[in-house]
Structure 1
Amino acid sequence: MSSEAQQLNILESSKEKFLDLMSELNDVQFHSFQDFVQSALEEYHAQLHHCHEADDNNDEHTETEQQNGKFQPVSDAKMMRLGRMIQDLRTRVPISAEAPGEKTTIPDTPEFKEFTEKNTVHVDGFLFTEDDVDDLVEKGKMSRNYCLECGSKKVAPLNFISHSASVLQLQFLYQVALADQVKDKVIVDIGSRLGAVLYSGHLFTRARKLIGVEINEWFAKLQQDMIQKYKMEDRVQVICKDIQDMPELLSNEADIVIMNNVFQFFNELPTQQKIWKFMRTETKKKPGSLLVTLPSLQEQLKETGMSASKLMRGWVKEVKLDYDGGWFQELNDDELEEIKQVHLYRVV
């Protein structure tokens, strides 16, 4: 059978499946599905146009990036699939993306000096972009300000905190920072929470295995449900444990360890210090492995009151990343600062 005939068969088969699917819906479900299909098609066409426009303007530069092995493209279809997962997660978790009964502590550090429970809002960066937040504000589902005096018009801006990497940060992580270093490797995400690092890693890379370590049972169950629903069991696994109970995962199995500010909001300083010393001891047993931290390792260690230079000496060497290499469409200042939170280190 010719390639053209094969494509025609695929097209006709897809049409039949689509019609079969619609025939199973009742009137209410049909209208909801119709809205979804229309929205998905509009998003797809917008992304496609965006991509082609970028290609037209940056053909030579993009080609060079691909040739030197420092950029891995991601198809529109994969971005749309990730978007479907995000929409699904929004129906499963609150806007704050906090687990039932979850306790978080605002760090007592200079960076968070003005942050209090009253003026701080948790909004998950994986689930909601700045535009999404603006939309929520317009719909009255969220506010960017809080009242300093009850009943008064005297207000102040709220502080926003996210415990997940954003889609842009994940794109930079896999398409640039780890672009040519992931194939057939084992990635371990400590504190995998919603599973953002795992889902995007499954879509964007050819990693042999992606393991999420999550101490919270509710989040672990949520990830397991998503992994099963979106058929990622072939390469993705979630383990509900404390990473300190799994030294062999770091010392023997992990080729790449990812940590998105995983300890600061959930542990007291003595516990954070203990975990970082554990991380150093176990990862040092596998020279050449990679650590990814958001924000920098230096910043996180400093915030615990430890000497970053002393702890990092003989442990890791930072791999300098090119944040402004024209990898994506032109980024605004906020987006550039966003990806600059991603740091890469090699165990020496």
Structure 2
Amino acid sequence: MDAFPTGHESGLETAQSDFLRLLSGLSSERDRRALIDWIGQSGSALVAQVGAGGPTQSQARYEARRRLADIADRLKGRMPLTGVLASERILAPAEAESASGLRPEHTVHLDGFLFDEVDEERLTSQGQIPPSFCAQCGSRDVQEINLITHSLSRPLLEFVFTSLLPELNPHHKILDVGSRLGSVLYGAALFTPCQSIVGVEMNSDFCDITQTTLNEFDLASRVKVIHAELSTVPELVQQADVIVLHNVFEWFMPLQAQTSIWQFLQRNIPKNGLIVASPRIEQSLAPLNTGIDISKWLRPLEPARPEAIALTEAEDENDSIFLYQVLADPGPA
């Protein structure tokens, strides 16, 4: 039987002792640091939630974060530092021609799912990431290097599935377009109860990496990765309740192909479907001649669960991803 606090030890002191025992029971320094960071970020929201009698959600959130970190650690051994495979072809967006900072010589690719800010600082101090570049060779015009990620960070994934989107049920279907190493798929599996989570990816190497990871972490019963070009699987788009588009076209397709794929999406995403996008869809369509009247097609939405944002760790990134609802029925084929 557990002992009650004695008169010589307050409830707070008992809780502090229990917390120190909990910390010492964690198997790694990374887990101990993650728990302390989580409490620091979420303290006031945790107090309110526990006071309302509901600590279970917070415990589940922490466990999902831990598993997501474990997946990232496993993938680090399978991916190059940049998160870009030799079999990929990366194209700078059209506006990069006038934005010198996005030129290849001024840009470093670092996967935001695999590496967090602590990792970034460590890699920079070790010289694996250059901290700056010379804008004019031989001058003193030195500017910070641009870091580009083609994956959502772990805190941003948590924000998307616990705050930005409305609460999802097991019957909702999630489609991630251009799933690459599968970060959105893992986040959806760990932060939602959805039973149908699908990623479409053109690169077979990424599909193999993702499938191996899904199998290793017992997620394959709910999550599938399909090796296909999106326009060849319109039924997946037509059936999806939520579609995630993260830097999916600008860095991987020429302008003509981008135009065609946006027209395909406009024809196939069902009315009331939700789109999670980064960058803004308005920005993605700006250099294209799609003929899409975005004001008649989509309605921008605010986060569906703003009260849950305090429990996330993505405050600095929340304004980099956007939610839309489809207003109209799919256009003519």
For normalisation by structure 1, the TM-score amounts to 0.77
Q: How does 1:1-348 map to 2 (within 5 A)?
A: 40-52=27-39, 56-59=43-46, 62=49, 74-109=60-95, 113-114=99-100, 115-147=102-134, 155-251=142-238, 253-283=239-269, 286-304=270-288, 306=290, 310-321=292-303, 327-328=309-310, 336-348=315-327
Tell me the distance in 2 between the aligned counterparts of 1:54 and 1:179. 22
Q: Does the 8 A contact of 1:72 with 1:175 survive in 2?
A: no
How far the C-alpha of 1:292 sits from its partner, in A, is 1.0
Correspondence for 1:12: none
Do the aligned partners of residues 66 and 267 (structure 1) sit closer, same or farther apart at CA in structure 2, a change above 3 Å counting? farther
Partner of 2:325, secondary structure, is strand
Partner of 1:340, secondary structure, is helix
Partner of 1:264, secondary structure, is coil
How far the C-alpha of 1:228 sits from its partner, in A, is 1.1
2:273 is matched by which residue type in structure 1? S
Deviates more, 1:290-299 or 1:196-205: 290-299
How far the C-alpha of 1:313 sits from its partner, in A, is 3.5
Partner of 2:150, secondary structure, is coil
Q: Does the 8 A contact of 1:72 with 1:174 survive in 2?
A: no
Tell me the distance in 1 between the aligned counterparts of 2:121 and 2:317. 18
Do the aligned partners of residues 210 and 53 (structure 1) sit closer, same or farther apart at CA in structure 2, a change above 3 Å counting? same
How far the C-alpha of 1:56 sits from its partner, in A, is 4.9
Do the aligned partners of residues 178 and 322 (structure 1) sit closer, same or farther apart at CA in structure 2, a change above 3 Å counting? closer
Q: Does the 8 A contact of 1:125 with 1:165 survive in 2?
A: yes
Partner of 1:298, secondary structure, is helix
1:134 is matched by which residue type in structure 2? E
Deviates more, 1:286-295 or 1:148-157: 148-157
Structure 1, unpaired ranges of 5+: 5-36
Structure 2, unpaired ranges of 5+: 3-23, 328-333
Correspondence for 2:20: none
Tell me the distance in 2 between the aligned counterparts of 1:287 and 1:210. 20
RMSD of aligned alpha carbons: 3.3
For normalisation by structure 2, the TM-score amounts to 0.80
1:279 is matched by which residue type in structure 2? L
How far the C-alpha of 1:170 sits from its partner, in A, is 0.5
Q: How many pairs align?
A: 303
Partner of 1:169, secondary structure, is helix
Q: Does the 8 A contact of 1:47 with 1:76 survive in 2?
A: no
2:62 is matched by which residue type in structure 1? D
Tell me the distance in 1 between the aligned counterparts of 2:157 and 2:312. 17
Per-residue CA deviations over 1:49-96 (Å, capped at 9, x if unaligned) read 4444556534565579999xxx98743222111111101111111111
Partner of 1:328, secondary structure, is helix
1:316 is matched by which residue type in structure 2? L
How far the C-alpha of 1:146 sits from its partner, in A, is 3.1
1:302 is matched by which residue type in structure 2? A
Partner of 1:171, secondary structure, is helix
How far the C-alpha of 1:264 sits from its partner, in A, is 0.4
1:249 is matched by which residue type in structure 2? L
2:281 is matched by which residue type in structure 1? L
What's the % identity of the aligned pairs?
A: 27
Do the aligned partners of residues 150 and 287 (structure 1) sit closer, same or farther apart at CA in structure 2, a change above 3 Å counting? closer
Tell me the distance in 1 between the aligned counterparts of 2:150 and 2:323. 19
Per-residue CA deviations over 1:194-248 (Å, capped at 9, x if unaligned) read 1000011111110121100000111111111111111111100000000011111
Q: Does the 8 A contact of 2:93 with 2:251 survive in 1?
A: yes
Q: Does the 8 A contact of 1:54 with 1:329 survive in 2?
A: yes
How far the C-alpha of 1:39 sits from its partner, in A, is 8.2
Partner of 2:77, secondary structure, is helix
Tell me the distance in 2 between the aligned counterparts of 1:80 and 1:111. 40
How far the C-alpha of 1:250 sits from its partner, in A, is 1.1
Do the aligned partners of residues 301 and 149 (structure 1) sit closer, same or farther apart at CA in structure 2, a change above 3 Å counting? closer
2:288 is matched by which residue type in structure 1? T
Q: Does the 8 A contact of 1:120 with 1:159 survive in 2?
A: yes
